Amino acid sequence: MKKLISAPYLVWMAVFVVVPLIMVAYFAFFANGHFTLDYVANVSQYANIFIRSIWLAAIATVICLIISYPVAVILTEADANYQGTLLMIVMLPMWMNFLLRTYAWMTILGNNGILNQLFGLFGLGPFKLLNTRGAVVLGMVYNYLPFMLLPIYNVMAKIDRSVLEAAQDLGCNRGRVIAKVVFPLSLPGVMSGITMVFVPAISTFIISRMLGGGGNLLIGDLIEMQFLGNSYNPNLGAAISLVLMIIVLLIMTLMNQFDADDRPLI
C-alpha cells in the first residue's frame, strides 16, 4: 500500500530529476557517441566567470542574511496577531512577476533613471548605477531576500518562548538572549536560508543580463549562451552545468561541516 502511494512520486523523480541529470552528464562526456573529456577540460577557460559568480552570489547571500536576521527577530517578537500581516508585507513584492520586478530596477538605476534624476536635483551625477556588479548584487538581494527570511523566521517562530524567558531569568538581557539562545537555535534556518539564496543566485542569468550589462556575465549566462545563444554548444553547456553543480555541492557540504557540531534540535 505504502509503495503504491509513493509510486507517482518515484516516477516523477525518475522522469524529471534522474533522467535529466543523466542526460546532462551524457552530453558533458559524449560527443557524437564518443567519450571525450574535452568539454569538461574547456570549462577551465571560464574560471574568471565562475569566480565572479561565486563571489557575487556570496556577497548577495551575506547581505540577505544581514537584512533578514533582524527582520526575523522583529517578526517573531511582534504581536502574534500582526505577524501574519507583517510577513505578508514582506512577501508582497514576490507576487509580482520576476521579470517585471527586475525591469523596474532598470528604470530606477538607469542613467536617466529615477535615482539619477533625484541626484540631478542636487546637482550631482549622473552616476553609473546600471550595468555594474553592484546592480547585479542588488538584483539578487532584492529577488531572493524572502528565501532567506522565511526559513529563518520559521525556525525562530518555533523556538519555545519559555526557553527565552529562562535565559532572561538566568541573567541575560535582550541582546544576550539573542546571542546565547536564539542564534544557536536558529542556525538550521540560517543554513537553509543560505542554501536557498546562494544556489539560485549563483546560477541566475536574467538578473546579471538585465542589471549587469554585457560586462558582468555569470555562469548562468554562459550556460544559456551554449543552448540558446549564437555560440550554440550543448556539450560545453552540459559540462559547465555539471561543474557548477559539483562546486555548489562542495560548498554546501563545507557549510554543513561547519554546522556539524550542532546537536539535534528538540
From the CA atom positions of the chain, what is the Rg in Å?
22
Does the protein bind other proteins through residue 80 (CB under 8 A)?
Answer: no
Q: Within 133-162, which residues bind other proteins (CB under 8 A)?
A: 160, 162
Does the protein bind other proteins through residue 165 (CB under 8 A)?
Answer: yes
Residue count at the site for other proteins (CB under 8 A)? 22
**In 78-177, which ranges are continuous DSSP H helix?**
80-91, 98-109, 114-121, 133-157, 161-169, 174-177
Does the protein bind other proteins through residue 170 (CB under 8 A)?
Answer: yes
Does the protein bind other proteins through residue 175 (CB under 8 A)?
Answer: no
In the bound state with other proteins, the residue whose beta carbon lies nearer, of 38 and 160, is 160
Does the protein bind other proteins through residue 180 (CB under 8 A)?
Answer: yes
Does the protein bind other proteins through residue 59 (CB under 8 A)?
Answer: no
Does the protein bind other proteins through residue 256 (CB under 8 A)?
Answer: no
- The CA distance from 154 to 159, in Å, is 9
Q: Phi/psi at 88 (nearest 5 deg)?
A: -65, -40
Nearest CA to 217 out of 116, 95, 133 is that of: 133
- The CA distance from 166 to 161, in Å, is 9
Residues 231-252 as b or e (16 or more Cβ within 10 Å = b): eebebbbbbbbbbbeeebeebe
In the bound state with other proteins, the residue whose beta carbon lies nearer, of 18 and 265, is 265
Does the protein bind other proteins through residue 265 (CB under 8 A)?
Answer: yes
Does the protein bind other proteins through residue 173 (CB under 8 A)?
Answer: yes
Residue of the chain from 89, 95, 122, 169 that contacts other proteins (CB under 8 A)? 169
CB of residue 258 vs other proteins: minimum separation in angstroms?
16
Does the protein bind other proteins through residue 184 (CB under 8 A)?
Answer: yes
**In the chain, which ranges are continuous DSSP H helix?**
2-13, 19-29, 38-42, 47-77, 80-91, 98-109, 114-121, 133-157, 161-169, 174-177, 183-202, 206-212, 219-227, 234-258
Does the protein bind other proteins through residue 259 (CB under 8 A)?
Answer: no
In the bound state with other proteins, the residue whose beta carbon lies nearer, of 38 and 165, is 165
Does the protein bind other proteins through residue 181 (CB under 8 A)?
Answer: yes
Nearest CA to 255 out of 46, 49, 65, 74 is that of: 65
What nine digits make up the cell of 262? 550542532
In the bound state with other proteins, the residue whose beta carbon lies nearer, of 12 and 258, is 258
Helices 98-109 and 133-157: crossing angle, nearest 10°? 130
In the bound state with other proteins, the residue whose beta carbon lies nearer, of 141 and 185, is 185
Does the protein bind other proteins through residue 82 (CB under 8 A)?
Answer: no
CB of residue 78 vs other proteins: minimum separation in angstroms?
17
Residues near other proteins, by CB under 8 A:
160, 162-163, 165-173, 176, 180-181, 184-185, 262-266
